[in-house]
Each structure stands twice: as C-alpha cells, then as structure tokens.
Amino acid sequence: MTSAGETRSADPFLGRVVDDRYRIEQLLGAGAVGSVYRAVDRSTKQNVALKIWTTAADNEQVQGRFLREAKALSTLHHPNIIAVYGYGVFGALPYVAMEFVDGRTLEHMLSAAQPLDTALACDVMMQVLQALAYAHGLGVIHRDLKPDNVALVQVDNGFVVKLLDFGLAKFLSPADDPMAGSALTLQGMVMGTPLYMAPEQAAGRAVDARVDVYAAGCMLFEMLSGRPPFTGETHAEIFRAHMLAPVPDLAGLRPDMVVAPELLQLLERALSKDPQERYTDAGEMLEHHLRMPRPPVRPKTHYPQNDNMRLRVDPASLVPAPRRAARWPLVAAVVTSLGTALALAYALLR
Ligand SMILES: Nc1ncnc2c1ncn2[C@@H]1O[C@H](COP(=O)(O)OP(=O)(O)O)[C@@H](O)[C@H]1O
Ligand SMILES: [Mg+2]
C-alpha cells in the first residue's frame, strides 16, 4: 500500500493550479476513468472537488463520459445532487469542478456488511428517490446508481444525501444528449460492479428510468439486510441472479425486525425482473415509499467522524463495527470459573 507521503510525491497533479483558479491539494478517490481531488478555489478560498478524466486522451468513450457528466450536472440543480461549478480542459484532460462533499459514501457505510438502522435506511432512500425523481422529471437517467455513487454528509439531525457520478447519464430527449449523432455506444465500456444492474441493462437492451428504480431497490434491500439482493462469485453469476433469482426473504435475514408488508411490496415491485412491473420512475416509487408506515425514530446512532470518503483510497483503515458475539467468550469464562469455584468449595466443605 502507498503511504500518503508516497502518493504525494508520485502524483503529478498535487500542487498544480487548474485554469488559474483551482489549486489541487489532495487525492480523494480514483475511479475507472480518472481521479477526484480536493482543490481550493483561489478566489473564494472554498474547497471544491475536481474530477480529472486522466484516461481521456485519445479515448472517445472516456470523453463521452465526461460530456455526459458535465451536461447532466449542469442541467440538474437539486439539494441531493452534487452541484457543478464549471468544467474545462486541463492540459489535454477534461475536468469538472464540483461541490466538495466532506462525508462518506454509502458503500463505506455498508462495508461492515451490517444492516443500517431502519429509519436511517428509509431516510437515505427517500433522499435518493427525491434526487432521482427530479432528474427523471427532466429526462435524465443516472444509469450507474450504486452505494459508491451515493455520498452522505453528516448534519446535526442525520445525513444529507448527494448523488455523484453522472458519467453514464442518459438523456431521454435526443436533443439534450451530448453524444447524440455520435456512433459511440456504451458497449464495452469499462464496467464496475453489476450488483445493482437491472436485468435489461445487464442484457444490453434499451434502458429507461426503470433501471434507476431497480438499482434503488437493490440499495434499499442492502441497507436493510446488510447484503445486496443478488450476489455471486462472478459477473455471470450475478447477472443470472438478477435475471432468475427471486428477491431473498428479508424477514428471514432480519428476524429482529418487524418487516411491514408495504415494505416487502415496495421491494418486490422495484426489483421486478420485468421493467413493465416496476414503478415507472423514481417519482412513483417515492410516492409509495412515503406512504409506508414510518419506522420507529432511531436512537441517536453515532458514526465515527474521521472515516470520510478518503478511506476508499485506503481500505485498510476501515474498522468494522465490533460484534456483540465477541463478549460471549468472556461471559463463558466467568461462568465456568464461578462453577469450578463453587464445586471446589462444596467438595472441601463436605
Ligand atoms: N464531490 C465530491 N466530493 C468529495 N469526494 C468526491 C466527490 N466526488 C467524488 N468523490 C470521491 O471520488 C470517488 C470517485 O468519484 P466518482 O465521481 O464516483 O468517479 P468514478 O467515475 O471514478 O467512479 C468517490 O467514490 C468519492 O470517494
Ligand atoms: Mg463512481
């Protein structure tokens, strides 16, 4: 693993100034097409997130992703969608300057493979659906919704969700599509995890807002159970599960939870194999989500403050939540020693 110091000396972007405005300070995350940095806007002294498509040179697909993200973000203005400040070219590489999120990704919150508090899961889902409902209303589909692209900022009374990474966004109106008329398709695009991918998307068929509905359903299931609904050792196995496996039994995975029938219906409908049986878009799913009985108000859950999104760069520093079961050996040892002492006393006193 690279230490922070090594990364600093190896990264050619650190300390550079982009467009005479953004001074690059720190690497936040590296993805399939480039890197995201924290930079400081020299005029306002504010932090911004600078995403640089380092693999864009001579790569039409990566340039396509950049155009999609820049166009989608400048179309969308919503409190649960990362705001864009500007975009341009740095050297030969396209970049977008965005609102800086000092928080964690949902992926990080789920990395301990434990369910989230039910009220928190429902609140996160509501905010994700609000953002998507807004985007769908404007004819923009995210298409790459997954916990890694959902950022959470802790505020006094909970979390604020910010959707990231509109690099695969699709525009329902061809007139809005920055790639309209281009021969470029997304076939063969470097693909991340298929864990949240709707069956029709995995099969390469035409997609619409319902792929985001399906991905939202996968994330809700995972937040409530601690595991994604459809898993497998290989991509092929995961695709098979999306296409054929029934939605796993949530009540069986969460015997401690009272699972409302409305919640099961919501999951079943969002996770339908056939897009025709799903909610038509996030707006409709949101309506149903809001009609569900409210889960009990959660106890004040404290999430550590220092493990922010940067941890994605250094997974070794992730500390899984301590397991209650770890106390049992201690209890067993105390009971055994007490028993032995009593038996000894009884034998001596007889
Ligand atoms: N606005 C932001 N503020 C802070 N960190 C960010 C921001 N955008 C992205 N990141 C970090 O960079 C990582 C990759 O960003 P993302 O936009 O998802 O790009 P990719 O296309 O490479 O997946 C994220 O997982 C997150 O850790
Ligand atoms: Mg991403």
Assign residue 88 the CATH number of its domain: 3.30.200.20
Task: Please state the atom number of ligand 1 nearest to the C-alpha of residue 35.
Answer: 22
211 lines ligand 1 (CB under 6 A): no
Nearest atom within ligand 1 for CA of residue 148: 25
* Within-domain flag for 209: yes
Q: What is the pLDDT of residue 167?
A: 87
The reported pLDDT for the residue numbered 32 is: 80
Q: Per-residue pLDDT tens for 9-20?
A: 578 899 999 999
Q: Do 42 and 180 reside in the same domain of the chain?
A: no
Q: Are residues 203 and 166 in the same domain?
A: yes
Q: Is 162 in the pocket of ligand 1 (CB under 6 A)?
A: no
Tell me, what's the pLDDT at 186?
56
- Tell which residue, 350, 315, 327, 332, has the closest CA to residue 108: 315
Q: H or E element: which one contains 3?
A: none
> Which CATH number belongs to the domain containing residue 166 in this structure?
1.10.510.10
150-119-306-304 Cα dihedral, nearest 10 degrees? -150
Residues 108 and 96 grouped into a single domain: no
Domain residues for the domain of 244 are 103-300
Q: What is the pLDDT of residue 333?
A: 52
pLDDT given for residue 3 in this prediction: 44
Nearest ligand, measured from the Cα of 49: 1
Final residue of a structural domain among 268, 283, 300: 300
Number of Cβ within 10 Å of residue 55's Cβ equals 18
CB 26 within 8 A of CB 38: yes
pLDDT at 158: 87
Q: Are residues 73 and 126 in the same domain?
A: no
> Both 96 and 220 in a single domain?
no
Q: What is the pLDDT of residue 106?
A: 97
User: Is 249 a member of any domain?
Assistant: yes
Residue nearest to atom 21 of ligand 1 (CA): 31
Half-sphere exposure of 174 (CA within 13 A, CB side): 3
pLDDT (0 to 100) of residue 328: 44
Is 0.85 surpassed by the pTM of this model? Answer: no
Are residues 135 and 42 part of one domain?
no
Q: Would you call 144 a catalytic residue per the annotation?
A: yes
Q: Are 286 and 235 found together in one domain? A: yes
Query: Does some domain include residue 189?
Result: yes
Burial bucket for residue 211 (CB in 10 Å: 0-12, 13-18, 19+):
buried
Pair (203, 130) in one structural domain: yes
137 and 248 inside one domain: yes
The per-residue pLDDT for 327 is 42
- Mark whether 29 and 169 lie in a shared domain: no
Residue 323 falls within a domain, yes or no?
no
In the chain, the number of structural domains is 2
Determine the pLDDT at residue 349.
55
Q: Within the chain, which residues score under 70 in pLDDT?
A: 1-9, 183-192, 296-350
- In this structure, is residue 342 part of a structural domain? no
pLDDT at 340: 54
Return the pLDDT at 346.
56
Q: Which of the 8 DSSP states describes residue 312? A: G
Assess whether 36 and 90 both reside in one domain: yes
Task: Measure 270 CA to ligand 1 centroid, in angstroms.
Answer: 26
Residue 320 is assigned to a structural domain of this protein: no
pLDDT of residue 315: 33
Give the pLDDT of residue 329. 44
Regarding the beta carbon of 190 and ligand 1, being less than 6 Å apart is answered no
**Is 33's C-beta closer than 6 angstroms to any atom of ligand 1?**
yes
Domain final position from 60, 75, 100:
100
Residue 96: inside a domain = yes
